[in-house]
Amino acid sequence: MSSIEPVVLVHGGAGDIPSERVEGKLVGVKLAAKVGYAKLRETGSVLDAVEEAVRSMELDPYFNAGYGSVLTTQGNVEMEASIMNGATLRAGCCTLVKDIMHPISLARRVMKTPHNFLGGEGVMRFAAEEGFEIMDPPGQLVTDYAKEALEEWKEGQRRGEVEFARTEIGSSNKYSKSEVGTVGAVAIDSSGNIAVATSTGGITGKLPGRIGDTPLVGAGTYADNLVGGVSTTGHGETIMKYSLAHDILKRIEFLGEDAQTATENSCKAMTDRLVGTAGAITIDRKGQVGISFTSKRMAWAYIKGTQLKYGIEQNQHQEETVQE
């Protein structure tokens, strides 16, 4: 295979993102792409690159992951994440993670075990054994914005609008703060090695113990050097039913669609059939990029060479030059 130009591509979540959150999200995804690309150049590892990009967004309260995570009905943060190596198909997944700043790093640590997926009490015990800082007192990841979103959701519940608020399915969000915002990253190096990482706090007003698509291989995350890599975002229950990440890659593999076409067609087909909206970012084995979403907005950015491209609105593609 001829040499491929390395790419680091990130998303900051698809959903009905309020206008006042747009600029913060664009700043955040551009930073994450730069951080991930710098790590790829530094270590040569696509796993390092996607982990570092996602860690950047887990620190940013403009995103629903890590410090910006949304709340359960009981007002708690329960997070989940996954990471996958396209060279080996090894994956690390975690769910029901509490009081840990970087669930994506915990997911990567799961890769050293004989298992793909740890959750609940088991993953928290594993995190402690592996030396992860578990915040004490608990609840330090809860932001004022997340509290306001939950109160807005509860008000909708009192008015009998709970279904809309919980699922985020509609095309017009009555709850301005109740946005989804899973974060993710896909990277490819010059040898065609691919990795994907995805992290989230879930959806506002979710029941305690709810698990979405993010930690599920094939739904929220998938990487295979022979085909490509995908990270998804949006309404988790819908993405889970459709196995969105895997569907995109199978379109590339079996239908011969390019990364952009496959991502567009799969997101649209999912929403047409199941109503719920979503977005995805894709890099195929040739290094081609795909970005699409059926939600109102999705923040994204990628670096290829000296070009940083980014957007958040439908059909928006802006560009900046960055130093190598």
Catalytic site residues? Answer: 182
- Torsion region of 294: left, alpha or beta (phi above 0 gives left; psi -120 to 50 gives alpha): alpha
Query: Is residue 168 exposed (0-12), middle (13-18) or buried (19+ Cβ within 10 Å)?
Result: buried
Residues 16 and 164 sit within 8 Å (Cβ to Cβ): no
- Here the tokens at position 313 are 């609105």
Counted residue by residue, the chain has a size of 324
Rounded alpha-carbon distances, angstroms, from residue 22 to 25, 27, 208, 252, 298: 5, 9, 29, 31, 9
Residues 223 and 229 sit within 8 Å (Cβ to Cβ): yes
Pairing of strands 117-119, 91-97: parallel
| Sign of the CA dihedral running 122, 123, 124, 128 | positive
Q: How many CB atoms lie within 10 A of CB 324?
A: 7
Strand partners, 290: 282
